[in-house]
Each structure stands twice: as C-alpha cells, then as structure tokens.
Amino acid sequence: MNPTIQTLLSHRSVRRYTDDPVPEEHIRSAVEAGQMASTSAAVQAYCLIRVRDPEHRRRLVELTGGQEKVARAGAFFVVCGDVRRHRVIAQRAGKPYRARLEAFLVAAIDAALFAQNMCVALESMGLGICYIGGLRNRLRDVDELLRLPGGVYPLFGLCVGVPDERPAPRPRLPVDAVLFEGGYPPDEVWLDALSSYDEEYEAYLRARGAAPKPWTRGIAESFTEPARGDLAAYYESKGADLT
Ligand SMILES: Cc1cc2nc3c(=O)[nH]c(=O)nc-3n(C[C@H](O)[C@H](O)[C@H](O)COP(=O)(O)O)c2cc1C
C-alpha cells in the first residue's frame, strides 16, 4: 500500500484538538495542494475564509448548533463557492454574466474537491480535520457575521487542529454496494450487502460509547423532515440562479 492510500484510509474526523497552533506553512501548503484539485474548465470557483477573531469563533459555535470545536480548533475556515470573481471579471470586460444551476453546481463541486484535497494534505502532515455542515443551519447569520458579498456561497465550515484523540475509523459501505458495472443494478444487489454492514456499524457505535443503531435505521430516520429548507432562497439572495 502506498503512503497516499495509507493517508486516505487512515482518515477519521477529529473533533478534539490540543492547544497547539497549526503551523502557518502547513496551512499554506495544504491550500496549494487543495488548489491543485481538478477544477471545472479551470474556473476555480471557490475561496476559503479563515476566521481568527475569537468573538466570531464563539458566535460561530452558536450558529453551528453549539459545536464547541469550532472555537477550540487550532484553525477554522469557511469553504465557499465563489462565482464573484467570474462576475466581476465579466463585468470589467463588458461581457454579460449569465449563469444557471450549472454555475452553482460547478462552484459547489469545485469547492468540495478543493477542500478535500486540502484536508488530505493536512492529514498527511499529522493534523486532524472535521467538516462543519452545521454552518448551513443559519446561513444568513453567518453571512452577516462575515459580511459576504454577492456571488460568494458559504457551503461548510472546516476545523483543523493538532489531534487530541484518535477515534476508530467509521466503517464504510462494502465496495460492492458502491461500485457497479455498466449501470445501476437491481436494488437487491446492494440491499443484500447491507445486513453485514449494519452489524459492523452498530458494533462501531457501541465501541465508541454511542447509542448502537444499524446504519439503515439511522438513514431511515434521517430524512423524515426536510433539512435546512431555506437554502435555495438564501443562495438566490446571493445571486445564484438555481433553475
Ligand atoms: C460536508 C460535511 C459536513 C459535516 N458536518 C459535520 C458537522 O457539522 N459536525 C461534525 O461533528 N461532523 C461533521 N461532518 C463529519 C461527518 O460526520 C463524518 O465525516 C462522517 O460521519 C464519517 O466519519 P469520519 O469522517 O470520521 O470517517 C461533516 C462531514 C462532511 C463531509
């Protein structure tokens, strides 16, 4: 197994960090590594906002649903889709800027690829990371706190720090439930693979001291109510066309 695959397979979200700072040079090289992720037609439709102000970090704990790690991590970032650059450049060149859902998707995909490359780089340097989707709980408040201009779409937060825990890896679906040949198989094919996964997942939760629950039960319970129902209105208010 090569060191890249070893780093990838060693991933676990880290939610407890020591007080040690994250070296600046590690952050800069991780950002560079992130930037080398593939990007749709080189549009590089993302930016990364580092939040240092302790008061802002406290406020973000509140806005992310009480996630203390947002204040405690050595560094905290907001990952944004960014089409502002494209809009401003088009305007400066006297060209119309016309974008539909495709432009929003490109920004979200580019930003996620950038962030994941960056995270792998950080992990390869011994740092721990945890994405913070809770950032989307109260996006309008996040927007106001960070004074974000139009065309900048906050997508998720990112905690980075020196790990103060080494949790067991969270088991993933069997490869045969994910990798299909030539098309989508009958549902029984992947359903069959899930019973052993449910057992493995439940054992993982039990070992972590969490309430044991098969993965499929967790999933069945996860979508009974739509989450974060005002996202479309918020992103449209920032200039996205989601049609
Ligand atoms: C986009 C995204 C948002 C996430 N948001 C949160 C979050 O708000 N809080 C948290 O503790 N973990 C968050 N996570 C971490 C996931 O819970 C975690 O990746 C998943 O359970 C798999 O566990 P692992 O990363 O340890 O392998 C998020 C992960 C992703 C990819």
Q: Decide: helix, strand or coil at residue 157.
A: strand
The mean per-residue pLDDT over the stretch 40-56 comes to 98
Q: Mind listing the pLDDT tens digit for each residue in 139-196?
A: 999 999 999 999 999 999 999 999 999 999 999 999 999 999 999 999 999 999 899 9
| Other Cβ atoms within 10 Å of 85 Cβ, number | 15
The pLDDT of residue 75: 98
> Looking at ligand 1, which atom is closest to the CA of residue 134?
8
Q: Domain-by-domain residue ranges, the chain?
A: 3-167, 175-212
pLDDT (tens digit per residue) in 94-137? 999 999 999 999 999 999 999 999 999 999 999 999 999 999 99
Q: 8, 63, 130: which to mutate for ligand 1, most atoms within 8 A of CB?
A: 130
DSSP string, 111-136: HHHHHHHHHHHHHHTT-EEEEEGGGG
CATH topology (fold) of 3-167: NADH Oxidase (3.40.109)
Residue 97 contacts residue 87 (beta carbons within 8 Å): yes
Instruction: Tell me how far apart the alpha carbons of residues 176 and 161 are, in angstroms, rounded to a whole number.
Output: 34
Q: What is the mean pLDDT of the chain?
A: 97
Q: Which element (helix H / strand E) includes 49? A: strand 46-50
pLDDT on residue 128: 98
Taking 3-state DSSP, the helix, strand and coil percentages for the chain, each rounded to the nearest 5, stand at 50, 10, 35
